[in-house]
Amino acid sequence: MLEEIILKYEDDGFASMAYTAALLAFSKYGSTEKTDKILERAIETNKHVVHYLLGTKKLPKYLPEAISFGSEEEAQEYLNDNLSIWQETERAIDWVKSNGGLRWFQK
C-alpha cells in the first residue's frame, strides 16, 4: 500500500514523498546504486532534511505555520512526523551520512 502511494505521487515535489521513498527503498534493499540515487533525488528536493536527520540542527519547539517546497520549514514539518521512523530504521541515518549527506551542507 505505501509503495503504491509513493509510486503514484513520487514526482509531486514534496520532501515527504521523496524521503519516504528513499527510506522505504533502503529498508527493503539496503544501500544499492538504485537506492542511493533515490536518496540523492530526495536531498535535491530538500537539502534541509539532512541537517535534522544528522543532528546538526534541532527541530524547533513549535512548527511553522506555512511551508514551501524545499524550505527549512518543509523539512521541519516532515521530520516532526517522521524522524522517529528514520531513527528506528537500522543504519538509515548512517546511510544518509555515508552517501554524501554532509556535502549538501555546502550547497
Model pLDDT for residues 52-91, shown as the tens digit of each residue: 999 999 999 988 887 888 899 999 999 999 999 999 999 9
Distances (CA, A) of 46 to 1, 18, 28, 107: 25, 9, 23, 11
100 pLDDT exceeds 90?
no
**pTM, to two decimals:** 0.84
Question: Cell numbers 521541519 label which residue?
Answer: 76
Model pLDDT for residues 4-52, shown as the tens digit of each residue: 656 555 666 689 999 999 999 999 999 999 999 999 999 999 999 999 9
